[in-house]
Amino acid sequence: MRTPAVRFRVDFGRHEAVGPGKIALLEHIAASGSLSQAARELKMSYRRAWQLLESLNGSFSERVAVTSKGGRGGGGAALTPLGTELVSQYRAFDRDVQSRAARYFQELAAKSRARSTAGAAPVRRLSER
């Protein structure tokens, strides 16, 4: 039986949604020390990564990451304490949510077509909303 997975984003306000894409960007910035490197690792354009980071920086009263320009290697990027806190709380919440979903939906998951039981009848699958 497959464990149900929850996909989510947290809305801090009308234009302040934080989901897996932004969190992954922050994690890759923290690990690589570089926005362009983070973008490459996530297979997104530098422009897209920059937009996501600007959106995050505009969502809070303090910045979540700072970037420094130029020099050899094209400048660096690092998370602020607020950015580190955001990633940490998001990931802790994520673990909590997934673990609680496993309990809430255990019986329903057992009746899901996605369970790996041999011989389950094939079923037409329509696109998800």
| CB neighbour list of residue 18: distance below 8 Å, 6 or more residues apart | 9, 10, 11, 12, 56, 59, 86, 90
Shortest distance, position 120 Cβ to its own copies, whole Å: 7
Distance of closest approach, residue 87 Cβ to its own copies, in angstroms: 11
129 binds its own copies (CB under 8 A): yes
Amino acid at 54: E
Please check whether residue 87 is in contact with residue 26, taking contact to mean a CB–CB distance below 8 angstroms.
yes
The DSSP H or E segment spanning 102 is: helix 81-104
Q: Does 17 bind its own copies (CB under 8 A)?
A: yes
Q: State the distance between the two ends of the chain, measured CA to CA, in whole angstroms.
A: 23
59 to 98: interface string for its own copies, x by CB under 8 A? xxxx-------------------x--xx--x--xx--xx-
Residues contributing to the site for its own copies (CB under 8 A): 2, 4-17, 19, 21-22, 51-52, 54-55, 58-62, 82, 85-86, 89, 92-93, 96-97, 100-101, 104-105, 107-109, 111-115, 120, 123-129
